[in-house]
Amino acid sequence: MKRNLFISVSLMFMGCFLLSCEKNEPTGGGETPPATSDYAPGEIPGLGNAEGELTGTPYLLPDGVELLQELEGGGYWTDYFSPLWDYAAAPQRKALARKALPEKTPSKVAANEDIVYRGSGTGYVDILVNLANNNSSATVVEFPAGLILENVSGNCQNGVLLKKVKVEIPAGGTVRICLSFYCGNLSRSSAHGGDVYTWGVVTDAAPIIELCNLLKNKKINIDEYNPTSQVDYNYYDYIVDDLQSIVWKITDSTYGLNNSDREFINSLPNEGEPTPDTGTGDDPGTGDEPGEWIEDGNQLIYEVDEGLYLARWVLTFDDNGICIESKCEMVFTDASIAQLMYNELLNSGESVTISENTVIIDFTESHAGLTKEDVLAAIGL
């Protein structure tokens, strides 16, 4: 489906806080363990709004590998696709209308050439991992699917790794990794430079492990995409948002995965397959049905299922095709999530109202006087 850019940027700045891990036997990598805790969606301790500590196996680095500095959040990932970007500022990227990106040469891949980019979820929880291998031979460090990092202060996002990551460090060598995660709690702020993290647990929560298993052979990690390809950039950027919505269905909603989510995951390319060319603004989507504008007299109406909410835009124009009213209604799966969105939007500059699980944004002041074409371009649908 196509995605409303204003709603996407609002969701993107909601983040996650994870609590400390249980003291089980630690792991230094390996496959995601089988689920031993059959938590229901929305009731996983330490995720979403659920109370309690995270459960699982504490993560440790392999013998002889040490962390050279604290785990920190930040926007290091922005350099991966830098050959294609005509704008910077990662946190604001989804507030800008998507456009054809300029041609750049492969020699300009990444300003931070010494950073290795791994994981999936870029733009949500991006962590700089600076490692040294003190062994006399090369060592492979594995970050298993289901690994969850926790933020030390508890004020910003913590991350859920959905697919296994491996990085080889030469004997006596070092590596800096930008490791990307998805957000496991909807109500916290995003990770920024200077936000400190610690290794958490490899989760034993059944709903998360089910999702990891569905994705383990899918092409979702950033290093599986060509940083000089606009096709790869567009596709990766979109599936990250859609996968994040699926994660929130598990962590912050009682709905969990549905058939539409499984069909979406099944439609993703497998490892090694070519990236689908969906076009500059065409989102593969996770909703039940792709949205489209429907003309009804002097109104244009757009409805789409975004997973956590149903969105309905209604644009009203005068006889000359000039906008006189513009509203977006979002009906959320849970009233608490609607309240979080409402709180986020209060400082957006638009008029926002809430009633139980429904949030209405009135864009009339911003869109009044614009033509149909200009309003649609501003909305990004």
Interval 277-333: pLDDT, tens: 876 444 454 444 446 789 999 999 998 876 677 889 999 999 999 999 999 999 987
DSSP 360: E
CA 248, 286, 191, 151 dihedral sign is positive
Spans of all domains in the chain: 5-267, 293-379
In this predicted model, what pLDDT tens digit does every residue of 236-281 receive, in sequence order?
A: 988 998 899 899 889 888 888 988 899 999 999 999 999 998 764 4
Contact between 330 and 7 (Cβ < 8 Å): yes
Distances (CA, A) of 187 to 49, 251, 337, 345: 8, 11, 8, 13
Reported in sequence order, the residue ranges of 42-187 that DSSP labels E, i.e. its strands, are 56-58, 65-67, 71-73, 115-119, 125-133, 139-143, 147-151, 159-160, 165-169, 174-183
pLDDT of amino acid 86: 37
Alpha helices in 252-276 (DSSP H): 259-267
Between CA 17 and CA 92 the distance in angstroms is: 22
Write out residues in the chain with pLDDT < 70, as ranges: 1-35, 75-79, 81-113, 279-291, 306-307, 381
Taking the C-alpha atoms of residue 377 and residue 322, their distance in angstroms, rounded to an integer, is: 14
Give the span between the Cα atoms of 342 and 368, in whole angstroms: 23
Which pLDDT does position 320 carry in this prediction? 93
